[in-house]
Amino acid sequence: MSKQVRVRFAPSPTGPLHMGGVRTALYNFLFARRHGGKMILRIEDTDSQRFVPGAEEYILESLKWCGIEIDEGVGVGGPHAPYRQSERREIYLKYAKQLVDADWAYYAFDTAAELDTLRKEAEAKGETFAYNYAVREKLPTSLSLSKEEVEERIARGDQWVIRFKMPENEVVEMDDLIRGHVKVNTSTLDDKVLYKSADALPTYHLANIVDDHLMEISHVIRGEEWLPSLPLHYLLYKAFGWEDTKPQFAHLPLLLKPTGGGKLSKRDGDKMGFPVFPLFWKSPATGETAHGYREDGYFPEAFVNMLALLGWNPGTEQEIFSMQELIDSFSLDRVSKAGARFQPDKAKWFNAQYMHHKSDEELAALFQPILKANGVETSDELAGKAAGIMKERASFITDLWDLTSYFFVAPTQYDEKQTKKYWKGENPARLAELREVLASIDDFSLENTEKVVGEWIAQKEYGMGQIMNTLRLALVGAGKGPGMYDVTAFLGKEECLTRIDYVLANLKPVE
Protein backbone atom coordinates (compact mmCIF):
# COMPACT_ATOMS: atom_id res chain seq x y z
CA MET A 1 0.00 0.00 0.00
CA SER A 2 1.71 3.15 -1.19
CA LYS A 3 0.13 6.03 0.69
CA GLN A 4 -0.35 5.99 4.41
CA VAL A 5 -3.56 4.24 5.35
CA ARG A 6 -6.00 6.75 6.75
CA VAL A 7 -9.58 5.60 7.17
CA ARG A 8 -12.51 7.33 8.71
CA PHE A 9 -15.73 6.38 10.39
CA ALA A 10 -18.16 9.16 9.53
CA PRO A 11 -21.49 8.67 11.27
CA SER A 12 -24.32 11.16 11.28
CA PRO A 13 -25.73 11.85 14.75
CA THR A 14 -29.30 11.06 13.76
CA GLY A 15 -30.07 8.50 16.46
CA PRO A 16 -28.48 5.52 18.15
CA LEU A 17 -25.75 3.81 16.18
CA HIS A 18 -27.10 0.61 14.62
CA MET A 19 -24.97 -2.53 15.02
CA GLY A 20 -24.32 -2.32 11.27
CA GLY A 21 -22.72 1.05 11.91
CA VAL A 22 -20.59 -0.43 14.67
CA ARG A 23 -19.45 -3.10 12.24
CA THR A 24 -18.45 -0.38 9.74
CA ALA A 25 -16.44 1.33 12.47
CA LEU A 26 -14.89 -1.99 13.46
CA TYR A 27 -13.79 -2.90 9.93
CA ASN A 28 -12.28 0.55 9.50
CA PHE A 29 -10.44 0.17 12.78
CA LEU A 30 -9.17 -3.34 11.96
CA PHE A 31 -8.03 -2.19 8.54
CA ALA A 32 -6.22 0.84 9.99
CA ARG A 33 -4.48 -1.21 12.67
CA ARG A 34 -3.56 -3.98 10.26
CA HIS A 35 -1.83 -1.52 7.95
CA GLY A 36 -0.28 0.66 10.61
CA GLY A 37 -2.61 3.48 9.60
CA LYS A 38 -4.85 5.99 11.31
CA MET A 39 -8.49 5.71 12.31
CA ILE A 40 -10.39 8.98 12.12
CA LEU A 41 -13.78 9.78 13.60
CA ARG A 42 -15.65 12.49 11.74
CA ILE A 43 -19.13 13.50 12.78
CA GLU A 44 -21.27 14.34 9.75
CA ASP A 45 -23.86 16.63 11.26
CA THR A 46 -24.74 18.89 8.34
CA ASP A 47 -28.33 17.70 8.18
CA SER A 48 -29.63 19.96 10.92
CA GLN A 49 -33.18 18.61 10.56
CA ARG A 50 -32.15 15.09 11.44
CA PHE A 51 -29.82 16.03 14.29
CA VAL A 52 -30.66 14.16 17.50
CA PRO A 53 -29.25 15.38 20.82
CA GLY A 54 -27.23 12.73 22.61
CA ALA A 55 -26.52 10.73 19.46
CA GLU A 56 -22.89 11.87 19.21
CA GLU A 57 -22.23 10.96 22.83
CA TYR A 58 -23.87 7.61 22.17
CA ILE A 59 -21.56 6.99 19.21
CA LEU A 60 -18.46 7.83 21.24
CA GLU A 61 -19.53 5.67 24.13
CA SER A 62 -20.38 2.75 21.86
CA LEU A 63 -16.98 2.83 20.19
CA LYS A 64 -15.28 3.03 23.55
CA TRP A 65 -17.28 0.11 24.91
CA CYS A 66 -16.29 -1.97 21.88
CA GLY A 67 -12.59 -1.11 22.20
CA ILE A 68 -12.56 0.67 18.83
CA GLU A 69 -9.89 3.30 19.31
CA ILE A 70 -9.84 6.61 17.52
CA ASP A 71 -6.51 8.15 16.52
CA GLU A 72 -7.82 11.45 15.23
CA GLY A 73 -11.20 13.07 15.36
CA VAL A 74 -14.05 14.18 17.53
CA GLY A 75 -13.16 13.69 21.17
CA VAL A 76 -9.45 13.27 20.34
CA GLY A 77 -8.41 16.16 18.10
CA GLY A 78 -5.71 16.00 15.46
CA PRO A 79 -4.04 17.86 12.59
CA HIS A 80 -7.25 18.28 10.59
CA ALA A 81 -9.44 19.57 13.42
CA PRO A 82 -12.25 20.35 13.72
CA TYR A 83 -13.71 16.95 12.87
CA ARG A 84 -17.35 17.86 13.39
CA GLN A 85 -18.70 19.09 10.06
CA SER A 86 -20.95 21.73 11.61
CA GLU A 87 -17.76 23.35 12.91
CA ARG A 88 -16.20 23.30 9.45
CA ARG A 89 -19.04 25.12 7.72
CA GLU A 90 -16.88 27.99 6.37
CA ILE A 91 -14.82 25.53 4.38
CA TYR A 92 -17.47 24.18 2.08
CA LEU A 93 -18.98 27.17 0.27
CA LYS A 94 -15.68 27.94 -1.42
CA TYR A 95 -15.60 24.44 -2.87
CA ALA A 96 -19.20 24.57 -4.00
CA LYS A 97 -18.50 27.86 -5.80
CA GLN A 98 -15.39 26.38 -7.36
CA LEU A 99 -17.61 23.76 -9.01
CA VAL A 100 -20.03 26.42 -10.24
CA ASP A 101 -17.12 28.36 -11.77
CA ALA A 102 -15.89 25.22 -13.50
CA ASP A 103 -19.41 24.53 -14.86
CA TRP A 104 -19.75 21.34 -12.81
CA ALA A 105 -22.50 22.83 -10.70
CA TYR A 106 -25.10 25.57 -10.79
CA TYR A 107 -27.31 27.72 -8.60
CA ALA A 108 -30.96 26.71 -8.45
CA PHE A 109 -33.66 29.03 -7.13
CA ASP A 110 -36.70 26.84 -7.61
CA THR A 111 -39.16 26.66 -4.75
CA ALA A 112 -40.66 23.57 -3.19
CA ALA A 113 -43.98 24.47 -4.85
CA GLU A 114 -42.41 24.67 -8.32
CA LEU A 115 -40.77 21.31 -7.86
CA ASP A 116 -43.98 19.83 -6.63
CA THR A 117 -45.80 20.96 -9.77
CA LEU A 118 -43.18 19.29 -11.95
CA ARG A 119 -43.33 16.16 -9.84
CA LYS A 120 -47.10 15.98 -10.21
CA GLU A 121 -46.90 16.57 -13.96
CA ALA A 122 -44.45 13.69 -14.28
CA GLU A 123 -46.61 11.44 -12.15
CA ALA A 124 -49.65 12.25 -14.27
CA LYS A 125 -47.69 10.96 -17.24
CA GLY A 126 -46.74 7.84 -15.32
CA GLU A 127 -43.13 8.98 -14.99
CA THR A 128 -40.98 9.57 -11.96
CA PHE A 129 -39.66 13.06 -11.69
CA ALA A 130 -35.90 13.45 -11.74
CA TYR A 131 -34.04 16.71 -11.30
CA ASN A 132 -31.55 16.31 -14.13
CA TYR A 133 -30.36 17.46 -17.54
CA ALA A 134 -33.93 17.31 -18.87
CA VAL A 135 -35.35 19.88 -16.45
CA ARG A 136 -32.47 21.96 -15.11
CA GLU A 137 -32.73 24.55 -17.84
CA LYS A 138 -36.51 24.84 -17.57
CA LEU A 139 -36.22 25.86 -13.94
CA PRO A 140 -34.87 29.10 -12.51
CA THR A 141 -31.19 28.15 -12.32
CA SER A 142 -27.93 29.82 -13.18
CA LEU A 143 -28.12 27.81 -16.41
CA SER A 144 -31.38 29.40 -17.49
CA LEU A 145 -31.08 32.86 -15.93
CA SER A 146 -28.63 35.58 -16.89
CA LYS A 147 -25.58 36.22 -14.76
CA GLU A 148 -27.10 39.54 -13.62
CA GLU A 149 -30.38 37.88 -12.60
CA VAL A 150 -28.51 35.27 -10.62
CA GLU A 151 -26.48 37.91 -8.82
CA GLU A 152 -29.56 39.97 -8.17
CA ARG A 153 -31.49 37.06 -6.71
CA ILE A 154 -28.61 36.14 -4.44
CA ALA A 155 -28.12 39.76 -3.40
CA ARG A 156 -31.77 40.24 -2.48
CA GLY A 157 -31.69 37.16 -0.27
CA ASP A 158 -33.62 34.62 -2.35
CA GLN A 159 -32.95 31.13 -1.16
CA TRP A 160 -30.77 29.04 -3.40
CA VAL A 161 -29.00 25.73 -3.56
CA ILE A 162 -26.00 24.64 -5.56
CA ARG A 163 -26.64 21.45 -7.49
CA PHE A 164 -24.19 19.15 -9.21
CA LYS A 165 -24.54 19.22 -12.97
CA MET A 166 -24.68 15.52 -13.67
CA PRO A 167 -23.47 14.88 -17.23
CA GLU A 168 -25.92 13.31 -19.66
CA ASN A 169 -25.28 9.83 -21.00
CA GLU A 170 -21.74 9.23 -19.84
CA VAL A 171 -20.46 6.02 -18.34
CA VAL A 172 -18.72 6.28 -14.98
CA GLU A 173 -16.39 3.38 -14.34
CA MET A 174 -15.58 2.66 -10.73
CA ASP A 175 -13.60 0.19 -8.70
CA ASP A 176 -14.74 -1.15 -5.39
CA LEU A 177 -12.42 -3.31 -3.29
CA ILE A 178 -15.29 -5.65 -2.45
CA ARG A 179 -17.54 -5.43 -5.49
CA GLY A 180 -14.92 -5.09 -8.18
CA HIS A 181 -15.48 -3.01 -11.31
CA VAL A 182 -18.80 -1.17 -11.49
CA LYS A 183 -20.23 0.90 -14.38
CA VAL A 184 -23.09 3.37 -14.26
CA ASN A 185 -24.62 5.56 -16.96
CA THR A 186 -25.00 9.10 -15.67
CA SER A 187 -28.39 9.52 -17.34
CA THR A 188 -29.81 7.37 -14.54
CA LEU A 189 -28.60 9.88 -11.94
CA ASP A 190 -29.97 13.20 -10.82
CA ASP A 191 -28.49 16.57 -9.95
CA LYS A 192 -27.85 16.28 -6.26
CA VAL A 193 -27.91 19.32 -4.01
CA LEU A 194 -24.41 20.12 -2.75
CA TYR A 195 -25.00 23.26 -0.73
CA LYS A 196 -28.02 25.08 0.72
CA SER A 197 -28.18 28.79 1.42
CA ALA A 198 -31.08 28.24 3.84
CA ASP A 199 -28.82 26.90 6.57
CA ALA A 200 -25.48 27.81 4.99
CA LEU A 201 -24.48 24.19 5.09
CA PRO A 202 -23.26 21.66 2.56
CA THR A 203 -25.09 18.38 2.04
CA TYR A 204 -23.53 15.03 2.81
CA HIS A 205 -22.09 14.57 -0.70
CA LEU A 206 -20.09 17.78 -0.83
CA ALA A 207 -18.94 17.76 2.77
CA ASN A 208 -17.96 14.10 2.57
CA ILE A 209 -15.80 14.48 -0.53
CA VAL A 210 -14.19 17.74 0.58
CA ASP A 211 -13.38 16.34 4.00
CA ASP A 212 -12.10 13.01 2.74
CA HIS A 213 -9.80 14.97 0.47
CA LEU A 214 -8.64 17.47 3.10
CA MET A 215 -8.21 14.75 5.70
CA GLU A 216 -6.14 12.70 3.23
CA ILE A 217 -8.35 9.65 3.52
CA SER A 218 -6.85 6.68 1.68
CA HIS A 219 -9.73 4.19 1.94
CA VAL A 220 -13.45 4.78 2.31
CA ILE A 221 -14.97 1.73 3.98
CA ARG A 222 -18.70 2.18 4.46
CA GLY A 223 -22.11 0.56 4.18
CA GLU A 224 -23.57 -0.70 0.94
CA GLU A 225 -26.31 1.92 1.08
CA TRP A 226 -23.73 4.43 -0.16
CA LEU A 227 -22.86 2.49 -3.31
CA PRO A 228 -25.47 4.37 -5.39
CA SER A 229 -23.68 7.61 -4.43
CA LEU A 230 -20.33 6.36 -5.69
CA PRO A 231 -20.69 7.64 -9.29
CA LEU A 232 -21.45 11.12 -7.98
CA HIS A 233 -18.48 10.89 -5.63
CA TYR A 234 -16.21 9.78 -8.48
CA LEU A 235 -17.41 12.69 -10.57
CA LEU A 236 -16.90 15.11 -7.69
CA TYR A 237 -13.27 14.00 -7.40
CA LYS A 238 -12.94 14.54 -11.14
CA ALA A 239 -14.64 17.94 -10.99
CA PHE A 240 -12.31 19.12 -8.25
CA GLY A 241 -9.27 17.78 -10.08
CA TRP A 242 -8.49 15.40 -7.21
CA GLU A 243 -8.75 12.15 -9.15
CA ASP A 244 -5.14 11.21 -8.57
CA THR A 245 -5.45 11.26 -4.82
CA LYS A 246 -9.00 10.01 -4.46
CA PRO A 247 -9.44 7.23 -1.90
CA GLN A 248 -10.12 3.62 -2.69
CA PHE A 249 -13.64 2.46 -1.87
CA ALA A 250 -15.05 -0.60 -0.17
CA HIS A 251 -18.80 -0.99 0.32
CA LEU A 252 -19.72 -3.44 3.06
CA PRO A 253 -22.61 -5.89 2.72
CA LEU A 254 -25.85 -5.28 4.58
CA LEU A 255 -26.72 -6.99 7.83
CA LEU A 256 -29.85 -9.00 7.08
CA LYS A 257 -32.79 -10.04 9.24
CA PRO A 258 -32.58 -13.44 10.97
CA THR A 259 -35.21 -14.62 8.52
CA GLY A 260 -33.07 -13.65 5.54
CA GLY A 261 -34.63 -11.00 3.29
CA GLY A 262 -34.22 -7.34 4.12
CA LYS A 263 -32.12 -5.12 6.28
CA LEU A 264 -31.91 -5.89 9.98
CA SER A 265 -34.12 -3.36 11.77
CA LYS A 266 -35.04 -2.33 15.28
CA ARG A 267 -38.46 -3.85 14.66
CA ASP A 268 -36.88 -7.29 14.08
CA GLY A 269 -35.07 -6.93 17.37
CA ASP A 270 -38.21 -5.90 19.25
CA LYS A 271 -40.18 -8.76 17.71
CA MET A 272 -37.62 -11.46 18.33
CA GLY A 273 -36.15 -10.11 21.57
CA PHE A 274 -32.59 -9.18 20.65
CA PRO A 275 -30.85 -5.79 20.56
CA VAL A 276 -29.79 -4.12 17.31
CA PHE A 277 -27.93 -1.34 19.09
CA PRO A 278 -24.72 -1.57 21.11
CA LEU A 279 -26.06 0.39 24.08
CA PHE A 280 -29.43 1.12 25.59
CA TRP A 281 -31.02 4.17 24.00
CA LYS A 282 -33.84 6.45 24.96
CA SER A 283 -35.09 8.83 22.33
CA PRO A 284 -35.03 12.38 23.70
CA ALA A 285 -37.95 13.29 21.45
CA THR A 286 -40.39 10.42 21.95
CA GLY A 287 -39.07 8.70 25.05
CA GLU A 288 -39.03 5.47 23.06
CA THR A 289 -36.36 3.05 24.26
CA ALA A 290 -34.24 0.43 22.58
CA HIS A 291 -32.30 -2.48 23.99
CA GLY A 292 -28.52 -2.44 23.95
CA TYR A 293 -26.06 -5.32 23.92
CA ARG A 294 -24.22 -3.81 26.87
CA GLU A 295 -27.27 -3.55 29.11
CA ASP A 296 -28.54 -6.94 27.94
CA GLY A 297 -25.43 -8.49 29.42
CA TYR A 298 -23.19 -9.07 26.42
CA PHE A 299 -19.45 -8.78 26.82
CA PRO A 300 -17.97 -6.21 24.45
CA GLU A 301 -15.42 -8.77 23.26
CA ALA A 302 -18.19 -11.21 22.35
CA PHE A 303 -20.19 -8.52 20.58
CA VAL A 304 -17.14 -7.41 18.60
CA ASN A 305 -16.17 -10.98 17.75
CA MET A 306 -19.68 -11.73 16.53
CA LEU A 307 -19.86 -8.54 14.47
CA ALA A 308 -16.47 -9.13 12.87
CA LEU A 309 -17.71 -12.41 11.45
CA LEU A 310 -20.90 -10.90 10.05
CA GLY A 311 -19.68 -10.25 6.55
CA TRP A 312 -16.03 -11.21 6.91
CA ASN A 313 -14.51 -14.68 7.28
CA PRO A 314 -10.97 -15.64 8.15
CA GLY A 315 -10.84 -18.50 5.63
CA THR A 316 -10.40 -20.99 8.47
CA GLU A 317 -12.71 -22.67 10.98
CA GLN A 318 -11.63 -20.33 13.76
CA GLU A 319 -14.53 -18.48 15.34
CA ILE A 320 -13.16 -17.00 18.55
CA PHE A 321 -10.95 -13.99 17.93
CA SER A 322 -9.51 -11.43 20.28
CA MET A 323 -9.27 -7.89 18.93
CA GLN A 324 -5.57 -8.44 18.28
CA GLU A 325 -6.27 -11.65 16.37
CA LEU A 326 -8.87 -9.83 14.31
CA ILE A 327 -6.35 -7.11 13.52
CA ASP A 328 -3.80 -9.72 12.50
CA SER A 329 -6.15 -11.59 10.18
CA PHE A 330 -8.52 -8.95 8.79
CA SER A 331 -8.51 -8.21 5.09
CA LEU A 332 -11.06 -6.62 2.78
CA ASP A 333 -10.59 -9.51 0.30
CA ARG A 334 -12.46 -11.74 2.69
CA VAL A 335 -15.43 -9.43 3.09
CA SER A 336 -18.35 -10.93 1.20
CA LYS A 337 -20.48 -9.18 -1.37
CA ALA A 338 -23.62 -10.90 -0.14
CA GLY A 339 -25.58 -9.62 2.84
CA ALA A 340 -24.78 -11.24 6.17
CA ARG A 341 -27.69 -12.79 7.98
CA PHE A 342 -27.77 -11.99 11.68
CA GLN A 343 -28.52 -14.93 13.97
CA PRO A 344 -29.49 -13.98 17.53
CA ASP A 345 -28.65 -17.48 18.82
CA LYS A 346 -25.17 -17.14 17.47
CA ALA A 347 -24.76 -13.86 19.36
CA LYS A 348 -25.69 -15.70 22.56
CA TRP A 349 -23.33 -18.51 21.67
CA PHE A 350 -20.46 -16.07 21.35
CA ASN A 351 -21.29 -14.57 24.71
CA ALA A 352 -21.36 -18.02 26.30
CA GLN A 353 -17.93 -18.81 24.85
CA TYR A 354 -16.48 -15.66 26.39
CA MET A 355 -18.27 -16.42 29.64
CA HIS A 356 -16.72 -19.88 29.81
CA HIS A 357 -13.24 -18.49 29.31
CA LYS A 358 -13.42 -15.86 32.01
CA SER A 359 -11.29 -16.35 35.11
CA ASP A 360 -12.86 -16.49 38.55
CA GLU A 361 -11.42 -13.03 39.26
CA GLU A 362 -13.03 -11.51 36.17
CA LEU A 363 -16.31 -13.22 36.93
CA ALA A 364 -16.23 -12.02 40.54
CA ALA A 365 -15.95 -8.40 39.48
CA LEU A 366 -18.88 -8.75 37.11
CA PHE A 367 -21.01 -10.83 39.45
CA GLN A 368 -20.57 -8.80 42.65
CA PRO A 369 -23.06 -6.05 41.70
CA ILE A 370 -25.72 -8.69 41.06
CA LEU A 371 -24.99 -10.38 44.38
CA LYS A 372 -25.24 -7.03 46.15
CA ALA A 373 -28.53 -6.27 44.40
CA ASN A 374 -29.80 -9.55 45.83
CA GLY A 375 -28.67 -8.62 49.31
CA VAL A 376 -25.62 -10.87 49.37
CA GLU A 377 -22.39 -9.56 50.86
CA THR A 378 -19.57 -11.94 50.11
CA SER A 379 -15.89 -11.98 49.28
CA ASP A 380 -14.63 -11.71 45.70
CA GLU A 381 -13.10 -15.10 46.22
CA LEU A 382 -16.42 -16.79 46.93
CA ALA A 383 -18.27 -14.79 44.27
CA GLY A 384 -15.67 -15.88 41.71
CA LYS A 385 -15.65 -19.45 42.93
CA ALA A 386 -19.43 -19.86 42.68
CA ALA A 387 -19.45 -18.24 39.24
CA GLY A 388 -16.52 -20.40 38.16
CA ILE A 389 -18.29 -23.59 39.20
CA MET A 390 -21.43 -22.73 37.22
CA LYS A 391 -20.13 -20.66 34.30
CA GLU A 392 -20.34 -23.52 31.80
CA ARG A 393 -24.12 -23.45 32.18
CA ALA A 394 -24.42 -19.70 31.76
CA SER A 395 -24.48 -17.50 28.68
CA PHE A 396 -24.71 -14.21 30.58
CA ILE A 397 -23.51 -12.89 33.91
CA THR A 398 -27.16 -12.34 34.77
CA ASP A 399 -27.76 -16.10 34.47
CA LEU A 400 -25.43 -16.64 37.42
CA TRP A 401 -27.77 -15.59 40.19
CA ASP A 402 -30.31 -18.30 39.37
CA LEU A 403 -27.52 -20.80 38.96
CA THR A 404 -25.68 -20.00 42.20
CA SER A 405 -28.03 -18.28 44.67
CA TYR A 406 -28.13 -21.35 46.97
CA PHE A 407 -24.39 -20.99 47.54
CA PHE A 408 -25.10 -17.72 49.30
CA VAL A 409 -28.62 -18.09 50.67
CA ALA A 410 -29.70 -21.18 52.62
CA PRO A 411 -32.95 -22.70 51.40
CA THR A 412 -36.04 -22.31 53.54
CA GLN A 413 -38.43 -23.35 50.80
CA TYR A 414 -38.01 -26.70 49.12
CA ASP A 415 -38.87 -27.67 45.59
CA GLU A 416 -42.15 -29.58 45.69
CA LYS A 417 -41.28 -32.22 43.15
CA GLN A 418 -37.96 -33.04 44.76
CA THR A 419 -39.53 -33.09 48.21
CA LYS A 420 -42.18 -35.58 47.10
CA LYS A 421 -39.55 -37.73 45.51
CA TYR A 422 -36.90 -37.80 48.23
CA TRP A 423 -38.18 -36.49 51.56
CA LYS A 424 -39.82 -39.75 52.49
CA GLY A 425 -39.20 -43.28 53.71
CA GLU A 426 -35.79 -43.78 55.24
CA ASN A 427 -34.20 -40.76 53.62
CA PRO A 428 -34.70 -38.23 56.47
CA ALA A 429 -33.20 -40.66 58.99
CA ARG A 430 -30.28 -41.41 56.66
CA LEU A 431 -29.67 -37.72 56.22
CA ALA A 432 -29.44 -37.48 60.01
CA GLU A 433 -26.84 -40.26 59.91
CA LEU A 434 -24.96 -38.54 57.11
CA ARG A 435 -24.93 -35.38 59.22
CA GLU A 436 -22.87 -37.21 61.81
CA VAL A 437 -20.51 -38.55 59.17
CA LEU A 438 -19.98 -35.02 57.86
CA ALA A 439 -19.56 -33.68 61.38
CA SER A 440 -16.71 -36.13 61.90
CA ILE A 441 -14.73 -34.98 58.84
CA ASP A 442 -11.85 -32.62 59.54
CA ASP A 443 -10.58 -32.16 56.00
CA PHE A 444 -13.71 -30.88 54.28
CA SER A 445 -12.09 -30.59 50.85
CA LEU A 446 -14.06 -31.85 47.86
CA GLU A 447 -11.87 -34.93 47.41
CA ASN A 448 -11.78 -35.97 51.04
CA THR A 449 -15.49 -35.47 51.66
CA GLU A 450 -16.28 -37.47 48.54
CA LYS A 451 -13.99 -40.28 49.72
CA VAL A 452 -15.35 -40.44 53.29
CA VAL A 453 -19.02 -40.20 52.30
CA GLY A 454 -18.50 -42.68 49.46
CA GLU A 455 -16.99 -45.23 51.82
CA TRP A 456 -19.78 -44.74 54.34
CA ILE A 457 -22.46 -45.31 51.65
CA ALA A 458 -20.66 -48.40 50.39
CA GLN A 459 -20.22 -49.82 53.85
CA LYS A 460 -23.88 -49.26 54.72
CA GLU A 461 -24.95 -50.47 51.30
CA TYR A 462 -27.23 -47.47 50.89
CA GLY A 463 -28.41 -46.30 47.49
CA MET A 464 -26.08 -43.56 46.31
CA GLY A 465 -28.82 -41.76 44.36
CA GLN A 466 -31.23 -41.57 47.28
CA ILE A 467 -28.59 -40.24 49.66
CA MET A 468 -27.16 -37.68 47.27
CA ASN A 469 -30.55 -36.36 46.18
CA THR A 470 -31.68 -36.02 49.77
CA LEU A 471 -28.51 -34.15 50.60
CA ARG A 472 -29.08 -31.95 47.57
CA LEU A 473 -32.59 -31.17 48.76
CA ALA A 474 -31.17 -30.16 52.14
CA LEU A 475 -28.32 -28.00 50.86
CA VAL A 476 -29.74 -26.58 47.62
CA GLY A 477 -33.47 -26.84 48.24
CA ALA A 478 -34.06 -28.15 44.73
CA GLY A 479 -32.87 -30.72 42.22
CA LYS A 480 -30.39 -28.37 40.55
CA GLY A 481 -26.78 -27.38 40.96
CA PRO A 482 -23.33 -28.75 40.25
CA GLY A 483 -21.80 -31.95 41.66
CA MET A 484 -22.78 -32.44 45.30
CA TYR A 485 -19.22 -32.25 46.58
CA ASP A 486 -18.71 -28.91 44.80
CA VAL A 487 -21.57 -27.70 46.98
CA THR A 488 -20.29 -29.19 50.25
CA ALA A 489 -16.77 -27.87 49.65
CA PHE A 490 -18.10 -24.42 48.81
CA LEU A 491 -20.40 -24.19 51.82
CA GLY A 492 -17.96 -25.68 54.32
CA LYS A 493 -18.74 -27.96 57.20
CA GLU A 494 -20.60 -25.54 59.49
CA GLU A 495 -23.00 -24.33 56.83
CA CYS A 496 -23.68 -27.87 55.59
CA LEU A 497 -24.57 -29.00 59.11
CA THR A 498 -26.76 -25.94 59.71
CA ARG A 499 -28.70 -26.55 56.50
CA ILE A 500 -29.16 -30.24 57.29
CA ASP A 501 -30.36 -29.40 60.81
CA TYR A 502 -32.79 -26.89 59.37
CA VAL A 503 -34.39 -29.32 56.93
CA LEU A 504 -34.57 -32.06 59.55
CA ALA A 505 -36.33 -29.70 61.95
CA ASN A 506 -38.60 -27.90 59.49
CA LEU A 507 -39.61 -30.08 56.58
CA LYS A 508 -42.32 -32.62 57.25
CA PRO A 509 -41.58 -35.95 55.57
CA VAL A 510 -44.00 -37.03 52.87
CA GLU A 511 -46.24 -39.93 53.95
The catalytic residue positions are: 266
What is the Cβ-side half-sphere exposure of residue 315, based on CA atoms within 13 angstroms?
7
Phi, psi of 181 (to 5 degrees): -85, 130
DSSP H or E stretch at residue 160: none
Residue 279 vs 500, nearer CB to ligand GLU: 279
The torsion angle over the Cα atoms of residues 386, 392, 398 and 404, rounded to 10 degrees, is: -30
CB 4 within 8 A of CB 218: yes
Q: Does 419 bind ligand GLU (CB under 6 A)?
A: no
For ligand GLU, which residue of 44, 191, 268, 296 counts as binding (CB under 6 A)? 44
Q: Which stretch binds ligand GLU (CB under 6 A): 75-83, 104-112, 220-228, 327-335?
A: 220-228
Q: Choose the stretch contacting ligand GLU; rule: CB under 6 A; options: 134-142, 219-227, 263-271, 425-433.
A: 219-227
Q: Give the shortest CB-128-to-ligand GLU separation in angstroms.
A: 25
d(CA 453, CA 468): 10
Out of 5, 6, 7, 12, the residue judged to bind ligand GLU by CB under 6 A: 12
The DSSP H or E segment spanning 331 is: none
Question: In this chain, which of 62, 142, 203, 208 binds ligand GLU, going by CB under 6 A?
Answer: 208
Please say which residue, 11 or 477, places its beta carbon nearer to ligand GLU: 11
Burial of 52 (0-12, 13-18, 19+ CB in 10 A): middle
| Closest to 329 in 3D by CA, of 340, 321, 341 | 321
Out of 5, 6, 7, 10, the residue judged to bind ligand GLU by CB under 6 A = 10
Cα 207 to Cα 210: distance, rounded to the nearest angstrom: 5
Q: How many residues bind ligand GLU (CB under 6 A)?
A: 9
* Degrees to nearest 5, angle at CA 272 with 270 and 273: 65
Cis bond upstream, residue 482 (ω within 30): no
Report helix, strand or coil for 7: strand
Give the amino acid at 126.
G
Q: In which element (H, E) is residue 408 found?
A: helix 399-408
CB of 234: closest distance to ligand GLU in angstroms?
A: 13
How near is the Cβ of 16 to ligand GLU at its closest, in Å?
A: 13
Residue ranges in 40-132 assigned as alpha helix (H): 55-66, 89-101, 112-124
The CB density around residue 158, as the number of other CB atoms within 10 Å, is: 14
As measured in angstroms, the least distance from the Cβ of 44 to ligand GLU is: 4
Min CB(104)–ligand GLU separation in Å: 20
Q: Write the binding mask 225 to 264 for ligand GLU: x where contact by CB under 6 A, - elsewhere.
A: -x--------------------------------------
* Nearest residue (CB) to ligand GLU, 63 versus 355: 63
Q: Determine, following the binding rule CB under 6 A, whether residue 435 of this chain makes contact with ligand GLU.
A: no
Q: How far apart are CA 73 and CA 97, in angstroms?
A: 27
- 3-class secondary structure, 312: strand
Q: Which one of 8-16, 341-349, 402-410, 455-463 is the stretch in contact with ligand GLU (CB under 6 A)?
A: 8-16
Q: Which stretch binds ligand GLU (CB under 6 A): 6-14, 182-190, 300-308, 491-499?
A: 6-14
| Smallest separation (angstroms) from ligand GLU to the CB of 132 | 23
Residue 360 interacting with ligand GLU (CB under 6 A): no
Query: Which residue, 17 or 239, has its beta carbon nearer to ligand GLU?
Result: 17
Q: Does 222 bind ligand GLU (CB under 6 A)?
A: yes
Specify the long-range contacts of residues 154-157, CB closer than 8 Å, at least 24 apart. Answer: 154/107, 154/197
What is the closest distance, in whole angstroms, from the C-beta atom of residue 496 to ligand GLU in the complex?
Answer: 60
Q: What are phi and psi of 97, to 5 degrees?
A: -65, -35
Residues that bind ligand GLU (CB under 6 A): 10-12, 44, 204, 208, 220, 222, 226
